[in-house]
Amino acid sequence: MAAHVNVGRRLVALVLALAVCLSCAVAARVGGPEERQWLKVRRHLKRVNKPPVKSIKSPDGDIIDCVHVAHQPAFDHPLLMNHTIQTRPNFHPEGLYDDNKVALKKKTPSEAQLWHQNGRCPEDTVPIRRTTRADVLRASSVKRYGRKKHKSIPNPLSVEPDLLNENGHQHAIAYVEGDKYYGAKATINVWQPSIQQTNEFSLSQLWILGGSFGEDLNSIEAGWQVSPDLYGDNNTRLFSYWTSDAYQATGCYNLLCSGFIQVNNEIAMGASIYPISNYDGSQYDISILVWKDPTEGNWWMQFGKDYVLGYWPSFLFSYLADSASMIEWGGEVVNSEPDGEHTSTGMGSGHFPEEGYSKASYFRNIQIVDGSNNLRPPTGVGAFTEQSNCYDVQNGNNGEWGQHFYYGGPGRNSNCP
């Protein structure tokens, strides 16, 4: 009997030893924290980079993958598993402004992207900028990659503007509120502002906003940005963003998560815009229109006169499922305030509005879409900036540019230490 007990104990000990060895082997394969982080990154890259039909190397180093339209990241969303793609909007807003009527000295339309120099994507595919390991590792975490920080929205109605600065975000914007809005349009001057710290960015965009400025804020955003942290360089890039909970858990830039459905095979979100404006020289701009399809309820985005890019399904949102309550146009920067000094990251052209055309950056022909799906100039346009001695905004109105404004600034200067 004792012999049987001893054999049983030896077997138990052997099994435990084998289990410990297997655990050690698994741990050895997984490695330490760095190896586990790399496994997370690799899984994320596999999830976001869909198998391409064709790939194009851009002169700026980007890889543009031509992904079948039905295989894009949008359809990772559980509510889009059986979604029928809406290939075109049912209605365009009436009264689209004809930019061809505007004759400006040294002004040339800029609606091309750098990667076009090396090829185009075939029909039934969408161009997607390939995410690299380096892109993800620059983020604070894999989970936060491609997302804005919480509370980075400008609130011109706040009675305590200092609160808007708590995360270092500063703005110079024009805005309208107090009505129901079904879209917005603007022609935006394109620049390449300098960025002081790699964790800072500078952008110029329009915001379509619904809800309060609390945890339930809905936002659709589109424009151009320079963001070394997101893209790994200082190129000026086309971008979009969305959130339905004030940047907490929903939404992302471009096509870096499920949500936005692209239908266009010519323009890549997140790709470099080319060419850009020069100080006291040639000026280039892009036009962006975001509007709500009155039939399907989806929010569509158009770039320039010819490129209807795609849409955000209405179910992604709560307040924006109906309409927007505020529209904003303008610039935003991140001020990380190194050593207590204000950043020298520029907004717009990096020059103040009073310098005017070819020196200061502008938004022209800003418009809203009303409840009858008509584009019209906004009324009661306000202006807002947290520190006008760092970045400023000046509204204007004339026959050629309609409602417009100059905005921006250099950041740190003798009046903005």
Marked catalytic residue, from 332, 341, 354, 386: 332
Residue 45 parent element (H or E): helix 33-48
Q: Which amino acid is at 42?
A: R
Catalytic residue at 221? yes
Marked catalytic residue, from 221, 296, 354, 355: 221
- Tokens representing residue 174 in the block: 């024009």
Catalytic residue at 332? yes
Eight-class DSSP state of 409: B
Helix 33-48 and helix 2-30, axial crossing angle in degrees, nearest 10: 60
Tell the burial category of 335 from Cβ atoms under 10 Å away from its Cβ (0-12, 13-18, 19+): buried
Alpha-carbon distance of 410 to 259, in angstroms, equals 35
Instruction: Output the CA torsion 97→100→106→111 (10° steps).
Output: 80
Tell me the residue ranges of DSSP E strands in 168-306.
169-181, 183-189, 202-210, 218-226, 237-243, 261-262, 273-274, 283-292, 299-303
User: What positions carry a catalytic annotation?
Assistant: 221, 332
